[in-house]
Structure 1
Amino acid sequence: MSNIRLEMPVLARHAGEWVGTYTLVDITGKIIDQHQSHLSCQFPENSPYHYYQINRYTWENGKTEEHQFPATYQDQKIWFDTERIQGKAWEIDEATVILWFAYKQVPDMYLYEMIQISPDNNHRARTWHWFKNHQIYQRTLIQEKRVG
């Protein structure tokens, strides 16, 4: 049995259902895209994955997307390796998780995400910094609240 909940207590506080808004901006702050989200953060038992996240997105025009992110746990980090992405996440203090990931189909691009959870565990603020050729070119600003 994994010690993920004990060794990554900040990540463990994220278990549950989250809804929010993603706002994508360019480097001047101009909004490029905005959509609603519903994320499920799970710590499955009796599974090859120690962490499992499902992201569901909905746009005003009716477009929807769903992505699944299974992760394994080792060395106080969770590790993602799916057909779509490769990455890892780790804790840096009592409220913050850092995530690095890259899309496998875009080798010169990667992201850093900072995830802050509130002391009452009911609100999250997340910021993605998108890099291409090691230069930032856009950001995603995410505000979420726990719904379950």
Structure 2
Amino acid sequence: MTSIREEMPVLVRHEGDWVGTYIVVDTQGNILDRHESHLTCEFPTDSSYPYYQTNRYTWADGKKEEYAFPGTYRDKALWFDTERVDGKAWEVDDFTIILRFSYKGVLGMSLHEMIQISPCNNYRARTWHWFEDNKLTRRTLIQEERMR
């Protein structure tokens, strides 16, 4: 049986802790939101999930949020089905992962994310494209650095 580590080597390069900034813009480029992030990407060996991600967000006004995203693996893809989201991630080349997901309970909305990791494995650039009823309504721009 092949494993996520063997069949998704680009994803494995994301293992660890990442800090960065999320900037949400409308279709004209106006900033709608900005907040700091700390994400942890893990491949637990003692869990029923081969992938586990924890996202922590902090806003300048002190607001904080934290979410867990356990992922299952099959067919060379990572699948999410949590209380919050439903989605699928797959690798497209040596530096890029595509993630398509939707928030549960929000009809007509889908998000399409491109995640790119640098050749040195210490920097990531991510973009989200938000679609509502098939129309692009905003983007999230994310710049991250591996915690050292």
Q: TM-score, normalised by structure 2?
A: 0.98
Distance, in Å, in 2 between the alignment partners of 1:136 and 1:5 is 34
Query: Over aligned residues, Cα RMSD in angstroms?
Result: 0.9
Equivalence map 1:133-148=2 (5 Å) = 133-148=133-148
| Structure 1 partner of 2:112 | 112
1:68-126 deviations in whole A, cap 9, x for unaligned? 00000000000000011100100000000000000111021010000000000000000
Runs of 5+ consecutive residues of structure 2 not aligned to the other structure: none
Distance, in Å, in 2 between the alignment partners of 1:143 and 1:15 is 16
Distance, in Å, in 1 between the alignment partners of 2:97 and 2:3 is 17
| Structure 2 partner of 1:21 | 21
| Structure 1 partner of 2:34 | 34
Distance, in Å, in 1 between the alignment partners of 2:101 and 2:22 is 17
Quote the sequence identity (%). 62
| Structure 2 partner of 1:86 | 86
Distance, in Å, in 2 between the alignment partners of 1:61 and 1:52 is 28
How many equivalent residue pairs?
A: 148
Give, in angstroms, the shift of residue 2 of structure 1.
5.7
Corresponding letter in the other structure for 1:99:
L
| Structure 2 partner of 1:130 | 130
1:39-93 deviations in whole A, cap 9, x for unaligned? 0000010211010000000000000000000000000000000011100100000
Q: TM-score, normalised by structure 1?
A: 0.98
Corresponding letter in the other structure for 1:79:
W
Distance, in Å, in 2 between the alignment partners of 1:13 and 1:6 is 12
